[in-house]
């Protein structure tokens, strides 16, 4: 899980770099193609057919649409806002998943977890820091990305068991290609990227693939309640990368909000684990 979070943090950094060298639409297209190839090969080796009719399952189509929306928001946020701020806001994903599970999937959430959720969303507001001038567009896009990621996770929960993980990864990554083409008229300019820009996008694809493979292995090999809290190491890696390569220094409000969100998320996970063990969940 720690390796996965390091991969995703590096991927975010490469995406931020590539967004400065080409349009957002180009980043989505060029980053997705190697990822699709990698996941398709892994799926075939695992005996999962990526050309299956399961692709047209309603839940799969919804998940792919959310995946495309989330990628657009994430790449746009990384191009507009500091890396440390974007990844800090993304830490709220487990809270959004719990909220969605309660409101949409009708899972039982007790008063203690509701208090933790409220505290976590207060932490998000600290990071967004709305004022008379509103909320920065980059931070707002990061919030939309967090909502998209949590929606994707909820859809994954209700995905038919016959659909394999690598099938979902291949289809979800492939969905970014048409999304990129749809974005072409609204982003620009669209000149031919330099060789270094191609290299950055390729690096983004490779480290994200490593991250995805690692997180899949972690969730399958380790106890979920034990490995899941290590997702928060992504913020540690992001803060280090932001300081070393982008000369970013997260301000006190961002750090305070991030720690509140992480603390709330850890409490929710601990509480869910305790209820699951006691049989009250």
Q: Using one digit for the tens of pLDDT, what is the confidence trace for 87-146? A: 999 999 888 988 888 888 888 888 888 999 999 999 999 898 776 555 788 999 999 999
Q: What is the mean pLDDT of residues 77-90?
A: 91
Evaluate if residue 277 carries a pLDDT over 70. Answer: no
Give the range of the structural domain holding residue 2, as residue numbers without chain letter: 1-279
Matching residue, tokens 């913020």: 235
The domain total for the chain is 1
Largest CA distance in the chain: 59
Q: Where are the beta strands (DSSP E) in 123-198?
A: none
Give Cβ neighbours of residue 53 (< 8 Å, ≥ 6 apart).
Answer: none
Evaluate if residue 263 carries a pLDDT over 90. Answer: yes
Mean pLDDT of the chain: 87
The predicted structure's pLDDT at residue 89: 93
Burial class (CB in 10 A: 0-12, 13-18, 19+), 161: exposed
Q: Is the dihedral of CA 36, 40, 46, 48 positive or negative?
A: positive
Q: What is the mean pLDDT of residues 67-85?
A: 92
CA distance 24 to 16: 10
What share of the chain in percent tops pLDDT 90? 40
Residue 207 confidence class, pLDDT cut points 50, 70, 90: very high
Residue 280 confidence class, pLDDT cut points 50, 70, 90: low
Residue 224 confidence class, pLDDT cut points 50, 70, 90: low
Phi, psi of 161, rounded to the nearest 5 degrees: -65, -20
Calculate helix-pair angle for 252-278, 111-128, nearest 10 degrees.
160
State the distance between the two ends of the chain, measured CA to CA, in whole angstroms.
25
Q: Is 142 left (phi over 0), alpha (psi -120 to 50) or beta?
A: alpha
Beta bridge partners of 182: none
Evaluate if residue 176 carries a pLDDT over 60. Answer: yes
Record the pTM: 0.86
């Amino acid at each position: 899980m720690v390796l996965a979070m390091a991969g995703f943090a590096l991927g975010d950094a490469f995406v931020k770099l590539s967004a400065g060298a080409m349009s957002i639409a180009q980043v989505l297209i060029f980053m997705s193609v190697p990822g699709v190839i990698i996941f398709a090969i892994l799926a075939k080796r695992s005996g999962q057919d990526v050309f299956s009719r399961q692709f047209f399952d309603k839940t799969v189509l919804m998940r792919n649409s959310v995946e495309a929306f989330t990628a657009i928001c994430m790449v746009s946020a990384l191009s507009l806002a500091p890396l440390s701020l974007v990844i800090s806001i993304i830490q709220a994903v487990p809270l959004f998943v719990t909220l969605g599970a309660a409101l949409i999937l009708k899972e039982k959430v007790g008063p203690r977890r509701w208090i933790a959720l409220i505290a976590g969303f207060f932490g998000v507001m600290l990071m967004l820091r709305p004022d008379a001038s509103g909320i920065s567009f980059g931070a707002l896009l990061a919030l939309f990305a967090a909502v998209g990621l949590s929606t994707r996770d909820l859809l994954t929960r209700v995905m038919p068991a016959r659909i394999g993980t690598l099938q979902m990864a291949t289809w979800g990554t492939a969905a970014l290609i048409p999304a990129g083409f749809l974005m072409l008229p609204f982003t620009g300019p669209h000149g031919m990227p330099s060789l270094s820009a191609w290299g950055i996008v390729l690096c983004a694809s490779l480290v994200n693939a490593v991250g995805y493979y690692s997180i899949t292995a972690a969730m399958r090999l380790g106890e979920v309640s034990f490995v899941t809290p290590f997702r928060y190491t992504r913020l540690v890696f992001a803060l280090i990368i932001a300081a070393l390569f982008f000369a970013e220094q997260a301000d006190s409000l961002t750090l305070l909000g991030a720690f509140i969100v992480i603390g709330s998320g850890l409490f929710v996970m601990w509480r869910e684990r305790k209820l699951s063990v006691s049989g009250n969940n």
